[in-house]
Structure 1
């Protein structure tokens, strides 16, 4: 093999520097590129992403680009950019997420593109507001069953307490009983692997071997134990029926499992944490529960959709918790150059929006850092409309298809927990400054509670 001259290395270095520091197109947004080729500003951004986004917005204006790991991420933070993010035909959601899905679930691009629209439409219909009544009764039974395992009293990390009830209940209503392991030991093992997988999901974390062994359990014959389900099939079965590439059924089943847990459990955690840390809100909720179900206690009550509609304050608390603890960023890919304000965003950029910071715009949410569930009085929830500026579930045609089921799950869980148990919050809710640094909606640090069965 011939020797490579030192001149070659010098020229290569110069070309890399030229590519990094070449004059910026005057129509492009300001770019934060860092000093190291390819790596760019990845270190600064990854160290404290939410702080980085806000500081960049203040310094560079409402539209700016971050060059990191060989990619350009262009952030939009004001109305015109937000509208373009959700409505422009020059951006594409599928292309933005395909590589992450392939890395995390081993679903090839061709299969992903063929399946995505069809599966999204199916799930949107099966978990829409007109279908929630099909889940309500079974969900209530499942939550009761797993709450009964908690005993009469205890001290527990609030997130662990919620997961021990919510994980098996959710799995059983979506997958059917017996498909996934739901005993206490299996839940603990699942939690350890899932948290690692979930924390790295958006960065393309590899599927743990544990999940691959769990996938074998999902290769079951259907219909299975469907007697408890009045619609005679589960969401998993609908997914398998509509799936192109049947050999990838376990991969898609695990993607559904991740989607059912990744956001609903943190939302339930924050909802209860905020309620317990605001005594006046807690007191008003208990009065509302008493007005619907009578004196709170250990009796196993049945909760219908109509009952939940009478307990609006809990729903407001859930939506306010989602507002305050939304994801740091969501993304679409620019497929054709798009003009926003005075800038032209080139094709190939990842267009980024931060729900976390959008939800702190005082134009939409006065006193934005404060937990104020009563602000949701202004939302027309009867017509399933959120407050202006609320983008936690996305927007346009790619809103989260399971949002209404997830809200109902959290709503029902909170009602049953507060009806059956008295809670004392032992640790303070994590400070906002810490959340700015970590850039995540996941629970941060210990948040222990004491609970005991009401007499």
Structure 2
């Protein structure tokens, strides 16, 4: 009896204590929204993401939440957040990107989950370091073919020059010869539609398509193009594995063949959206640094002899003998990485003193992590020699470098991307002498870019080496 009375008394005390001193809510990161609840900070974030993140970091610290379009995006911009991002089992990559894929290329959730693992493994294998030799020769020939259209000299916007060469060369390499339109007018139309598609991709990945009419028009045009590309790939699909294009390997592994044009468009975007601007920035950084430019040219002549030959065959072994251009490429990637990569929180996680609730999108910012002086001394400086310390022969990057993700979800095409940029830069600089006509401003890089694209043109003058 006494024990029952004591237990009742303890329960009563506990209830009173809970009423008078209720348990505090888990501390969440500071949240940034707007006076328009449904939109939140969407337009401010999309208009200038890096500047937005910089201001938010200065005001709220390294961890903060942005409410936009009815969703919560929690940004982590320091070491501890990165460790959780790559190691926590309470985060999910597929759930984070599924809606993006659905909006961007119209692949429904069921098909995405059914195909993602298989296609990721296929691409990781086919585009891994041991298979790069299967692309190098073809890509080299394609780059030469399209560089010939530049003539022996000229002046132009460097980004446009890079796009004019890389778009058709890479598309024909990955999708099959003739996949990219050949006539000047058709190629220009293709570039304009893909440029529009890529430019508004971030908006379209989160907003209903009906709000983006021009983007939707370009998306439909590209999907129509890929219906023909896929049809041609299926008709010519060889039985020998070594003769297949990457698109044909995709077709062999895809469940739901009617979605092949959609996955083709997704593969196109993944292969070009980051590689083209990084190739551009690699050239800008090289051309704006006389000592770096000189070192690159010394390496090129040591491997290929005097500059100016019409066509040189560049093998995978040749690229291994040009490590400095690879260092320049990786340093450009470090300085011009995408604004954020994402995973979905499926169970509450704790980072520093904050609890991130389930349902949030956890956003990791490579741009800011790559400016951590702990890993990258003089972080704002373009210093290719820092990559001398990376064990690239064993396919290992520098500590703190997260441009391609980490853990089980690194970009499957990362080694191909590095190779294609290294090859383009080598051929460009070997064939032409470049002069950068627009000096790179000395102020913060945030004033130079929105995400990765330059806000102002960078004009160059080029002339074949004599």
TM-score by length of 1: 0.90
Q: Residues 100 and 201 of structure 1 are in contact (CA less than 8 Å); yes or no, is this contact kept in structure 2?
A: no
Aligned partner of 1:357 among 352, 358, 368: 368
1:220 partner SS: helix
Answering whether residue 137 of structure 2 is matched by residue 137 of structure 1, we say yes
Instruction: Please say which of residues 69-78 and 405-414 is displaced more in the overlay.
Output: 69-78
> Shift of the alpha carbon at 1:150?
1.5
Query: Aligned pair in 2 of structure 1 residues 259, 24: CA closer, same or farther (>3 Å)?
Result: farther
Q: Deviations over 1:322-360 (max 9, x none)?
A: 111111111111011112222211100010111111111
Aligned partner of 2:257 among 246, 259, 263: 246
Q: How far, CA to CA, are the matches of 2:293 and 2:237 in structure 1?
A: 38
Q: Residues 180 and 187 of structure 2 are in contact (CA less than 8 Å); yes or no, is this contact kept in structure 1?
A: no
Q: How far, CA to CA, are the matches of 2:277 and 2:30 in structure 1?
A: 35
Q: How far, CA to CA, are the matches of 2:442 and 2:46 in structure 1?
A: 20
Q: How far, CA to CA, are the matches of 1:47 and 1:116 in structure 2?
A: 30
> Shift of the alpha carbon at 1:43?
4.3
Query: Aligned pair in 2 of structure 1 residues 437, 430: CA closer, same or farther (>3 Å)?
Result: closer
Aligned partner of 1:376 among 376, 380, 387: 387
Q: Deviations over 1:347-400 (max 9, x none)?
A: 000101111111111111111111111111111111111111111111111111
> Which ranges in structure 2 are unaligned for 5 or more consecutive residues?
1-22, 210-215
Q: How far, CA to CA, are the matches of 1:119 and 1:225 in structure 2?
A: 21
1:160-239 paired onto structure 2 within 5 Å: 160-204=160-204, 206=209, 207=216, 208=218, 209-222=220-233, 231-239=242-250
Q: Residues 266 and 442 of structure 1 are in contact (CA less than 8 Å); yes or no, is this contact kept in structure 2?
A: yes
TM-score by length of 2: 0.88
Q: How far, CA to CA, are the matches of 1:143 and 1:453 in structure 2?
A: 16
- 1:302 corresponds in structure 2 to 313
Q: Residues 420 and 453 of structure 1 are in contact (CA less than 8 Å); yes or no, is this contact kept in structure 2?
A: yes
> Shift of the alpha carbon at 1:438?
4.9
> Shift of the alpha carbon at 1:261?
1.1
Instruction: Please say which of residues 34-43 and 164-173 is displaced more in the overlay.
Output: 34-43
- 1:416 corresponds in structure 2 to 427
Root-mean-square deviation over aligned CA pairs: 2.1
1:15-414 paired onto structure 2 within 5 Å: 25-204=25-204, 206=209, 207=216, 208=218, 209-222=220-233, 231-414=242-425
> Which ranges in structure 1 are unaligned for 5 or more consecutive residues?
1-22
Instruction: Please say which of residues 76-85 and 179-188 is displaced more in the overlay.
Output: 179-188
Q: Residues 345 and 357 of structure 2 are in contact (CA less than 8 Å); yes or no, is this contact kept in structure 1?
A: yes
1:273 partner SS: helix
How many residue pairs get matched?
A: 432
1:414 partner SS: helix
Q: How far, CA to CA, are the matches of 2:454 and 2:48 in structure 1?
A: 16
> Shift of the alpha carbon at 1:42?
3.1
2:247 partner SS: helix
Q: How far, CA to CA, are the matches of 2:443 and 2:313 in structure 1?
A: 37
